[in-house]
Amino acid sequence: MQQPFPFHVAVRQFLEYLELQQRYSPKTIEAYQGDLQRFTEHLRSALGVDLPMLGDVTQREIRGFIAALHKAGQSRRTIGRRLAALKSFTKFCRQMEWMESNPAALVVAPRPEQRLPTMLSTNEAQSLMESPDLASTSGKRDAAILELLYSAGLRRAELCGIRLRDVDHANSAVKVMGKGGKERVVPFGRDAANALREYLTVRSELATEAGGDALFLTNRGNPFDGNGIYRVVRRYMKRITEQKKKSPHVLRHSFATHLLDAGAGIREVGELLGHASLSSTQVYTHVTIERLQNAYNLAHPRATDEGTPQSQQEP
């Protein structure tokens, strides 16, 4: 029979394993710690103990944890994330032979809500691209930022990581470092190429030693970080749309949706976005299908139960 093992000791060793062997980022480890702390609090409350033991982690308690999260108003996406953290923890404990079986292995996470991405219409995207003041240095830079985000569908972290040498002007393409350290080359369009060319004629006005060879520089000459890119995009989006979400990712969503609307294949769009699997890209097909369905309902004479519109009836 296994000896009693304090739950918090197992958690501490699991977090050390993530840091030292898995090389997870501090932010990711903090997220795991928060999720496991939430489960610790559940065990204390449900069992009426101050010091839960590893043996207290049963399938019943895990299901009770999920029910408690749901009752507390947690979204299904958040519940799924907390359960995933718990599953990783119990798998680690089983591998360390601290548990005879994995109580979380057969617990199924709730299906997450299907949230359609926020995007701009093509007219809104066009208005956004025309918003910066091209008579100013910062305006030319901002125009290049907006054009590249929309034309290449980049994440803001990818945009911040671009160096001068990463831009292939001859082939209108840019090399970026995506998630997981995966490098890819993404083409961009004529308008983005023109905006980049205009920006590079004035980049020296922003350049400082601190900026190095970063493509995009702030007004102080420093390389942009993600928050800076977010502020630039939000400032211009506030001028052209009333929708609540105003972020660089909206331009990425718009890029993908507009490509699919124009007939691009889902596999090719996924490669441009740097998605590891098609499931990540398929959310955009829901958007385009919904738009096509709306257009069909408005235009096709047999789309509704009301019959053929009078204007379409034969004399």
Q: Which residues are part of the catalytic machinery?
A: 155, 179, 249, 252, 275, 284
Q: Please name the residue ranges forming H helices in 115-189.
A: 122-129, 137-152, 156-160
Cβ(7)–Cβ(56) under 8 Å?
yes
Residue of 116, 155, 149 whose CA lies nearest to 132 = 149
- Which residue type does 257 have? T
**76 and 63 Cβ atoms separated by less than 8 Å:** no
> What span, in angstroms and rounded, lies between the C-alpha atoms of 125 and 292?
19
CA angle 220, 221, 226 (to 5 degrees): 90
Q: Give the span between the Cα atoms of 159 and 305, in whole angstroms.
A: 49
User: What would the two tokens of residue 136 be?
Assistant: 């100013």
Within 10 A of 222 (CB to CB), how many other CB atoms are there? Answer: 15
Q: Is 6 helix (H, G, I), strand (E, B) or coil?
A: strand
3-class SS at 208? coil
Tokens of 161: 């990581």
CB 120 within 8 A of CB 258: no
Sheet holding 183-187, edge to edge: 167-168, 173-177, 183-187
Q: Which of 144, 204, 148, 193 is nearest to 168 (CA)?
A: 193
| β-strand pairing of 167-168 with 173-177 | antiparallel
